[in-house]
Structure 1
Amino acid sequence: MIAKTRTTSPSRCSTRAAYSPRLPIAGLLALAMAGFICILTESLPAGLLPQIAQDLGITEPLAGQLVTVYAIGSLVAAIPLTTATREWRRRPLLLLCIIGFLIFNTVTALSTVYILTLVARFFSGVAAGVLWGMTAGYARRMVPHSQKGRAMAIAMVGTPLALALGVPIGTFLGTHMGWRLIFGSLSVLTAFLIVWILWKLPDYEGEQVSNRLPLRSIFILPGIRPILIIVLAWVLAHNILYTYISPYLAGTKLADRTDVVLLIFGIASVVGLWIIGVFIDRHLRLLVLISIAGFGLASIAMGVGSGQPSIILLAVIVWGLTFGGAATLLQTAIAQAGGNNADIAQSMLVTVWNLAIGGGGIIGAILLKQFGGISLPGSLVIIMLPALIIAWQAKKHAFHKENKSSIS
């Protein structure tokens, strides 16, 4: 079925985009829906651990490994599989990832064997690693140069929506209606997305052999390494705070309102992404600097103002506003720096992002044990300050305004 899908030449799509001021909303939202499904697939087990553990007859720590193996799948697959599929046409590759979600989420919903469920979760992560490596480049190829950042923001809107609405709603419904029904519903949504992609998403050629650079050469391209260091620091700091937000709030007057705090964070993230989408094509570097500095200041406020709920909530809003567009900012920057090799550069970002997620859990646990939950926000400044300095200094190659010579 994939081989028979109708394709659209890159030159025709580029010409059409160049003469049309309107964004291809339907196609970009298909990419956003793919991200939405990806984040839900990754995050839902964390909110349903008691139900999953009881149903599979295992302990909650063992159930928690369903999240771990997913992350491992993404981590080990992103760079090698993105490299191996560089020459593949884009829509068939995207469909292969989406079909992977359909199959493995269905297996997860039906499996009564823990090992089989782990295997399904691992391969779901593999599909996610490839998908995240190609989404940014796909979105950028659908629009003219002046709209690449805005297109990225639309294609990435599924991530904050999943975290702000999808995960809480899915957790609530899974608790009351059964976790298997939620994963089955994800499969139905994925089947709908397959039809949507075939209907509305244009196809593009893969990377030409003549344009290919070795992996090491891409890594040392100007701008790539500073961006990856910023990704590591920013996502590490965010996940230390996000993962252990409950222990932090336990020492404040918001101890019983973790759900409200996370909802506020999620809503602020969506608003932050919208703001990024409006200004990113003209002010990429400024937005990166403001976002990093804003998150650092919010962390300080949560540390010194832990006795004042109003200060905490205001800081959480700033945190959400500054992190909501982080993925869009960083993916846009690394796509510009990667040029013709943007997809491989994106796969490096995906790998570092997942390393930072895992590192956030480990480092956060150490800080929590040694210094307590209240100390977590203030300690993040040590991580964010070097990121701010690197972003400030990396003006020439890492963060610059989109120009018509950029190829992605």
Structure 2
Amino acid sequence: MTTSIPAPAPSAATPATRERMPWLPLISLAAVGFVLLSAETMPAGLLPVMARDLGVSEGVIGQFISIWALGTVVVTVPAITYTQGFRRKPLLLGALSGLVLANAVTAVSSDVVIALVSRFVGGAFTGILWGILAAYGRRISPANSGGLALAVVATGAPVGFALGTPLGSFIGGIFDWRWSFAGLSALGVVLVGVIAIIVPGLAGQPRAHRQPLRRVFLLPGIPIVLLVIFVWMLGHNTLYTYIAPFLRDSGSGLTADLVLLVYGVASIGGVIVTALVIDHHPRLLLQASIAVFILAAGVLVAEHASPVAVLLAAGLWGLAFGGASPQLQSALSIAGGAQSDLANSFLPVAFNLAIFAAGLVGAVLLNVSGGLILGAFMAVLGVAALALTIAGRETFSART
């Protein structure tokens, strides 16, 4: 009697040999991005009700966002470095579970100090998730569709901007702010179950292939990509953070919620465009996105008093910046090569450093010149980012 020997299972370390796009796993990873972004920004839409319920000022509640960013900056790179050898799926599920728990503590806490600590912990887990999501999406997808996979995974962030934060604000206004956080935690629990069932497992980095953090940071292309991230994000977030005073000084009569809604919806279009183009013309796509970003800033400066022009600029702004994350994650992944997880861990750090800097720079600019200067600052930083992509054209023209 002969015994048939089953064919060996495909290696978890090399799932990029798949021929079909794993749409459902990619969508579930995108949903994780939605939870991350919504959890980070939700306090912005709930400032008054949270401040009133916790008996503190709105400025203190504003620190719920800052301390989240601090947790991301402090923890991401060391955590990703330490966990290079961990299997990716348990790490993904563990970090998501930690985020859900931290968010739930925020929802039930009546002590602002405990709530702030939970936000720091949530930001730390978020940094780990941002550090592995991009490479995860690429590794479970066909090798020639890495950019498309990144674009799908990255869709969650702009959807969080467009729908997650406003929805949380709506729920908090009708019921209680705690229900907004609880609802997000409930969605996270569902995602833990879905990912456990449908997302393929991945091996960690073999010890022989790991490199020291400093060496990865200095890999050709990594520094200039990070510099583009910081400069472009600083220009974006300075105006995004202080859009209300800009609109107040513009004379357009528009409200921040309407402008940001237009921006958020348009940013989803930016992700779609990115998904269609990124695997074929990555450098052209990135430079065109930054050029449209500069155009949007120019319209805001030149036609700030026109409601139609401002809304048009908001649409161009969202279209240009909506695909920024997958475009830059793709560039980091390509430059990082086998160290793509560690390379991508630098991205949330650069983003959150820019967020922190934007708060400070924007406050100084407002005190010195008023809200209108923010549009000009956005344009100047856009030009600087475009110049950097031209200087590093070899890095940004690499194909996935």
Q: Is the TM-score greater than 0.5?
A: yes
Cα distance in 1 for residues equivalent to 2:205 and 2:111: 40
CA shift at 1:253, angstroms? 4.0
Q: Say if 1:194 and 1:370 are closer, same or farther in 2 by CA, change over 3 A.
A: same
Cα distance in 2 for residues equivalent to 1:8 and 1:167: 40
Taking the TM superposition and a 5 Å limit, the aligned residue runs for 1:179-328 are 179-328=177-326
TM-score by length of 1: 0.93
Name 1:145's counterpart in structure 2: 143
- RMSD in angstroms over aligned alpha carbons? 1.4
Cα distance in 2 for residues equivalent to 1:116 and 1:368: 32
CA shift at 1:337, angstroms? 0.2
SS at match of 2:202: coil
Cα distance in 2 for residues equivalent to 1:62 and 1:248: 23
Give the letter for the 1:14 counterpart.
Answer: A
SS at match of 2:372: helix
The one of 57, 70, 73 equivalent to 1:72 is: 70
Taking the TM superposition and a 5 Å limit, the aligned residue runs for 1:157-168 are 157-168=155-166
Cα distance in 2 for residues equivalent to 1:388 and 1:322: 13
Residue segments in structure 1 that go unaligned for 5+ positions in a row: 1-6, 403-408
Taking the TM superposition and a 5 Å limit, the aligned residue runs for 1:5-404 are 9-10=11-12, 13-15=15-17, 17=18, 20=19, 22-402=20-400
Q: Say if 1:399 and 1:362 are closer, same or farther in 2 by CA, change over 3 A.
A: farther
Asked if structure 2 preserves the Cα contact closer than 8 Å seen for 1:29 and 1:155, the reply is yes
Give the letter for the 1:13 counterpart.
Answer: P
Asked if structure 2 preserves the Cα contact closer than 8 Å seen for 1:8 and 1:202, the reply is no
Cα distance in 1 for residues equivalent to 2:148 and 2:227: 24
SS at match of 2:225: helix
Cα distance in 2 for residues equivalent to 1:89 and 1:127: 16
Give the letter for the 1:193 counterpart.
Answer: L
Name 2:6's counterpart in structure 1: none
- Of 181-190 and 318-327, deviating more is 181-190
Q: Identical aligned pairs, as a percentage? A: 39
CA shift at 1:256, angstroms? 4.1
- Of 78-87 and 252-261, deviating more is 252-261
Residue segments in structure 2 that go unaligned for 5+ positions in a row: 1-8
Asked if structure 2 preserves the Cα contact closer than 8 Å seen for 1:98 and 1:127, the reply is yes
Cα distance in 2 for residues equivalent to 1:153 and 1:205: 23
Cα distance in 2 for residues equivalent to 1:130 and 1:317: 31
- Of 387-396 and 284-293, deviating more is 387-396
TM-score by length of 2: 0.95
Cα distance in 2 for residues equivalent to 1:202 and 1:366: 48
Aligned length in residues: 392
Cα distance in 1 for residues equivalent to 2:193 and 2:36: 17
Asked if structure 2 preserves the Cα contact closer than 8 Å seen for 1:337 and 1:398, the reply is no
SS at match of 2:279: helix
Measured against aligned partners, the alpha-carbon deviations of 1:29-54 in whole angstroms (never above 9, x if no partner) come to 11111111111110111111111111
Cα distance in 1 for residues equivalent to 2:303 and 2:219: 42
Cα distance in 2 for residues equivalent to 1:65 and 1:310: 34
Asked if structure 1 preserves the Cα contact closer than 8 Å seen for 2:71 and 2:124, the reply is yes
Cα distance in 1 for residues equivalent to 2:224 and 2:53: 45
Asked if structure 1 preserves the Cα contact closer than 8 Å seen for 2:252 and 2:304, the reply is no
Cα distance in 2 for residues equivalent to 1:28 and 1:231: 24
